Structure 1
Amino acid sequence: MTTALPVLFISHGSPMHAVEPSQAATDWAAEARRISRPRAILMVSAHWESSLPLVSGAAQPQTIHDFGGFPDELYRIRYAAPGAPDVAQEVVSCLQAAGIQSGVEGFRGLDHGAWVPLLKMYPAADVPVLQLSVQPELGAAHHLALGRAIASLRERGVLIVASGHMTHNLRDYMMSWRGVKQDAYALEFRDWITARLLADDLPALVEWEARAPHARRAHPTTEHFMPFFVALGAGAAAGRPQRFHDSLEQGVLAMDAWRWG
């Protein structure tokens, strides 16, 4: 019998994690070493938005450099993992069985929300990778349902990795580099989410925009928080979540990473 794989949520941070050493990247790599080799990796990245859930079906996905103003070495990186068209069909079947309309996008490559952490976790790029898009306008409950719908993939050798951010205010991040002191809002938001998560308080988490402190400042737009809810749904039956990384970049980007199972 195949052992069910865990579900991960990673705050992927700046693309510079691909080329600069960091404790976050070290912890991503260490976590990957603790996991049995997956048949495939399903990345749920904040950097692929669509009106309905789409799954990437490319046999050899390209590396997407979806950022600007970074050193040339970042743009030369190619993460040449194979795709997983067969698994893409399985993902769609899971979603449709749950009554969620979805489809396969045959040309989508891997955006930096996927390949930056994978470069550290699976540097040989020898595990097939595919992506699932997010729909920020549909909110937390929708993404929780997405996660629940695909949870059975854990038992079929698919590692589900949700890649977003615990907090994501890029304006405050840039201001911090200019010497503008930030207050403790990111920690307060992160700590509220952590407490509700460990209490298994799903109703409060789903209503995070109304109930969490500093919610709108922590996430001026919501796309980077939606992968968290996919992980929460997919990992709900896997046991109590465990945090395997905890840091704060420039006082505003909470880099929390969690594991279910």
Structure 2
Amino acid sequence: MTQTTQSIGAPMPALFISHGSPDTVIAGTEAAEWMKQLGQELPRPRAIVVASAHFEIGGGVAVTADANPETIHDFGGFAPELYQMQYPAPGDPKLAKRIVGNLQAQGFAAGAVPDRGFDHGVWSPLKLIYPDADIPVVVVSVDPAAGPAHHYRLGQALAGLGAEGVLVIGSGSFTHNLGEAFKIMRQGQRCADVPDWVEAFTDWMNERLGASDIDALLDYRARAPFAAKNHPTDEHLLPLYVAFGAAGEGSSAMRLHQSADFGVLAMTMWRFDHAMADAPAV
């Protein structure tokens, strides 16, 4: 892969990243190695906005507003070195304030929150993609009770950011049945075969995303095969809808990567590009 030469402020796509297990950052998996190359292909963003599956807020949208967010180690039972890792990227309080104001203007109950750092849905993929931690990062919450349509609309409210060089990332998981994953983890089978029920779901999602079939995607729990088995709760898929919406109307979708961790955690990544580079700014 060659280094992209576009400058800071170049129009940015929106991305959906399957961040996987917290130890993906040190595991050397296919997905981890791919993420290490991703930052070399993209234009350098002037800031990053991440909708993280691990930042759950009910009844509204929270936006991190600290200038120097801490690194949160929101997991247990992993290698000691993970708990020593830091991702000291700065925040961007001014951008956070603008996002909150825009969300409120579009009918969201939104607010800036202090003292909320980077959960592993934020820092573990960013440590692979942008290891220098020198790009400002703002984190946006998901509402696990609100569903796909709410999060697609949330993404649409962020759609102007890409045109001004801000990278919007939805960080979650294409499939997320932790009960099944833990069974395989205990057996030490990180490269386990992908079961049919995972393959059927990912095939359906990939086909619908490639066709930009938003009606089907918003109704995925009723239409996709094995939807509830792959997502017993759907907070880890909701960031995908934020990323899709953030590319704006008429956007194009491209699958960038597909692999699996422990067989049942699909590490699928998608890119969504704006139809027009001069989309209105947020």
Q: TM-score, normalised by structure 1?
A: 0.95
Superposed, which structure 2 residues align to 1:141-180 within 5 Å? 141-178=149-186
Report the counterpart of residue 110 of structure 2 in structure 1.
Answer: 102
1:82–1:127 contact (8 Å) kept in structure 2: yes
Q: Do the aligned partners of 2:206 and 2:255 also contact (CA within 8 Å) in 1?
A: no
**Alignment counterpart, residue 13 of structure 1, candidates 6, 10, 20:** 20
**How many residues are matched?**
261
Q: What is the letter of the counterpart of residue 114 of structure 1?
A: V
Is 1:131–2:139 an aligned residue pair?
yes
**CA distance in 2 between partners of 1:107 and 1:128 (Å):** 16
Instruction: Please list, as runs of the form range in 1=range in 2, the aligned pairs for 1:238-257 lying within 5 A after superposition.
Output: 239-257=251-269
Alignment of structure 1 residues 191-230 onto 2, 5 Å: 191-230=203-242
Structure 1, gaps ≥5 residues long: none
Distance in 2, Cα, partners of 1:219 & 1:101: 26
CA distance in 1, matches of 2:250, 2:64: 26
1:186 and 2:226 aligned: no
TM-score by length of 2: 0.89
Q: In structure 1, what is the Cα distance between the partners aligned to 2:193 and 2:28? A: 25
Superposed displacement of residue 240, structure 1? 1.8
Deviation string 1:178-219 (CA, Å, 9 cap, x unpaired) is 559873111111110111111121111001111111011100
- Counterpart of 1:48 in structure 2 is 55
Corresponding residue for 2:33? 26
RMSD over aligned Cα, in angstroms?
Answer: 1.7
Alignment partner of 2:232: what SS? coil
Q: Tell me the distance in 2 between the aligned counterparts of 1:197 and 1:181.
A: 24
User: 1:243, 1:196 → 2: CA distance?
Assistant: 11
Identity of aligned residues (%): 44
Moved more, 112-121 or 93-102: 93-102
Q: Note if contact 2:14-2:271 (Cα within 8 Å) is conserved in structure 1.
A: yes
Distance 1:178-1:68 versus aligned 2 partners, 3 A rule: closer
Pairs within 5 Å for 1:24-103: 24-51=31-58, 52-103=60-111
Q: Distance in 1 between matches of 2:239 and 2:36?
A: 20
User: Partners of 2:19 and 2:165 in 1: how far apart?
Assistant: 23
- Residues 38 and 104 of structure 1: CA distance in aligned 2, closer, same or farther (over 3 Å): same
* 1:9-55 C-alpha deviation (Å, 9 max, x unpaired): 00000111112212212222322212222111111110000021000
Whole-angstrom CA distance in 2 between matches of 1:3 and 1:237: 19
- Tell me, in whole angstroms, the C-alpha distance in 2 between the residues paired with 1:200 and 1:20: 33
* Native 8 Å contact 2:10 2:44 kept in 1: no
Classify the secondary structure of the residue corresponding to 1:241.
Answer: strand
Tell me the distance in 1 between the aligned counterparts of 2:123 and 2:193: 32
Q: 1:40 is matched by which residue type in structure 2?
A: A
Provide structure 2 residue ranges, at least 5 long, that are not aligned to the other structure: 1-6, 274-282
In the alignment, residue 213 of structure 2 is paired with which amino acid? D
Which of the pair is proportionally richer in helix?
A: 1
Distance 1:199 1:17 in 2: 30
Structure 2 residue matching 1:5: 3-state secondary structure: coil
Contact 1:238/1:260 (8 A) holds in 2? no
CA contact (8 A) 2:16 2:270 kept: yes
1:215 is matched by which residue type in structure 2? A
Deviation, structure 1 residue 103: 0.4
